[in-house]
């Protein structure tokens, strides 16, 4: 596919089409975008509604993966010993 420098492919949910675009034309999916489908009129294309549903499902998958990764990282960090501390003099305790 022919494209300019700085462009990257974007997959559109719903239609599964690709388009080369640059960063200024791309906006991240937000959680509130799903609720906007209730406010849509009758003329909204079914493909757009399907795309919102697919995007919401993918967003939830990614959020769950991120939480799982964070839990695994926290568990791994809990197993680490405390950082090394140099002892200058031995002192009796107790």
- Does a structural domain hold residue 62? yes
CATH of the domain at 17: 2.30.30.140
Could you tell me the pLDDT band of residue 71, with boundaries at 50, 70 and 90?
Answer: very high
Look over the chain and give the mean of its residue pLDDT values, rounded to a whole number.
Answer: 85
The arithmetic mean of pLDDT across residues 40-61, rounded, is: 82
CA–centroid distance for 23 within its chain: 17
Domain count within the chain: 1
- Does a structural domain hold residue 2? no
Instruction: Work out the percent of the chain whose per-residue pLDDT is above 70.
Output: 88
Output the CA–CA distances (angstroms, integers) from residue 85 to 76, 77, 88, 94, in the order listed.
Answer: 21, 18, 10, 21
- Pick the closest to residue 50 from 18, 21, 16, 27 (CA basis): 16
Could you tell me the pLDDT band of residue 61, with boundaries at 50, 70 and 90?
Answer: very high
- Does a structural domain hold residue 1? no
pLDDT at 37 over 60: no
Domain that holds residue 30: 8-78
């Amino acid at each position: 596919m022919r494209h300019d420098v700085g462009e990257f492919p974007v997959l559109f949910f719903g239609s599964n089409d690709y388009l080369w675009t640059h960063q200024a034309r791309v906006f991240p999916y937000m959680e509130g975008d799903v609720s906007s489908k209730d406010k849509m009129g009758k003329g909204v294309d079914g493909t757009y509604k399907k795309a919102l549903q697919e995007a919401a499902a993918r967003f939830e998958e990614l959020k769950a993966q991120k939480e799982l990764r964070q839990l695994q990282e926290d568990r791994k960090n809990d197993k680490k010993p405390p950082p090394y501390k140099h002892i200058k003099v031995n002192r009796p305790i107790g």
